[in-house]
Chain A
């Protein structure tokens, strides 16, 4: 690399530009990895110590070893798969309905002023009512329990998706609309080629958010009005004094929620290939 300026371009080797690769050991034992591992480990160690020495009321809380033991037992039983699949189905049902209604409504509200005036004030009044407060109405309205829990998930997921869709449409550069109009697009062309793709990144964020809230709502719904499902299971574990099962249930709910949010990000990334192209090229430039 010394006298690069004087060398003839053909003579520059590719190796001149390749940085020296960090060795395997230095990759593992850098500060970041050590501290990250320490962080995760200390979480479990502190939990274990607090329970072990019974500080304050931590005697009642199950320790990591117990939780692991019960977790393995629970995973082996049929109940677990029933609970997990039923909860997932409820959340997915509510979430799908929320997407089907919130995304078109949001697109129309963001795009069309008259439609926005006609619907948005009502939605704005309904929005601050938390999904949990709908539980009595849901029980009343749906004779079928599955539907009432799914409805609560629907309410929880609806507003994050709706609001993010509206913001997504509002954030589209006005020039695109003007350009399309100059080129003689009809409203439906503008809708399908500008409004929908322009709002997609924001919709993706909203969907991931909504998924998280749908899981939260499903737990509450099942605790209060369920016969099966993970939320019901942790409440039952509490009443039957099977305390380690509570923590197992929490962990499974957390993992399922995380998994479904990640799945949504993955799927929506497929729908917005131009976004992916940007991030991928960035990744490449950083890693190479």
Chain B
């Protein structure tokens, strides 16, 4: 007996592809958009060397920005969440800058940094920064108060409290924040590369748009999606390594 859930799930994707083909083939509005078959055919025209360099470039930028965001955002998030004075001192300033979307920083960044590489890395860093800060802070403030109290009654010191109790308890939400952050990082890298035109997947997509090779554009979108999903899964794997106690239940 076939497993109906799996069948339906595969059907879902097939139905989507079918709907896409029908819409493109038989309606006037969509005629410029390539069919799935054309996209699939474009897969074989890919120059592997070229596409892998572009993927590698984007990946390096994303990882640099993300790691910088983690290195700077995580301590700030911990400080705001853990110390009252740091909260009073830092939180209003952070709260004032946060509503400005990272994409709106592009012109100022282009103005400020000479090196295009550092422009893109700054933008990805900025995209990753706020989700990490906010989720670290939120995770710490939502720790069950009974855990620190229990630790306190066993005579734990302030550092031990942070490392042994607060951070592990806040870990799930910190990793949620990191997942959100890597999504925004990919978004930022695509936007920055489209504007900076200095290689990378975003530029690759934009280039194929300007030379009107639309199947390649859709393929590029797919590759970007795949890379984003890969990063997200990677963070899940790292997260489950850090939160082994969750697997017990």
| Residues in A lying within 8 Å of B, measured CB to CB | 31-32, 35-36, 38-40, 42-43, 57-58, 60-61, 114, 117-122, 125-137, 139-141, 212, 215-216, 219-220, 223-224, 231, 234-235, 237-238, 243, 246-247, 249-251, 253-255, 257-258, 261
Contact = CB atoms under 8 A, between A and B. Distances in A.
Interface of B: 5, 8-13, 15-16, 29-30, 32-33, 85, 88-93, 96-97, 99-108, 110-114, 183, 186-187, 190-191, 194-195, 202, 205-206, 208-209, 214, 217-218, 220-222, 224-226, 228-229, 232
B8 A215 contact: no
Contacts of B96: 40, 43
A36 B186 contact: no
Given A43-B93, A118-B12, A129-B225, A250 B105 contact: yes
Given A39-B92, A61-B112, A122-B15, 10 more contacts: A35-B85, A57-B114, A121-B9, A130-B225, A130-B228, A134-B221, A219-B101, A238-B107, A254-B104, A261-B99
Given A39-B88, A136-B217, A128 B229 contact: yes
Q: 3 tightest A-B contacts by CB? A: A35-B88, A136-B209, A117-B8
A114 B110 CA distance: 49
A255 B32 contact: no
B125 to A, nearest CB: 16
A122 B16 contact: yes
Given A114-B8, A117-B9, A141-B33, A36 B104 contact: no
A121 B13 contact: yes
Given A250-B104, A255-B99, A118 B229 contact: no
B144 to A, nearest CB: 18
Contact of A61 (B8, B104, B111, B224): B111
A250 B9 CA distance: 43
Contacts of B195: 223-224
A243 to B, nearest CB: 7
5 contacts: A39-B89, A118-B15, A128-B226, A130-B190, A247-B108
Contact of A133 (B90, B102, B205): B205
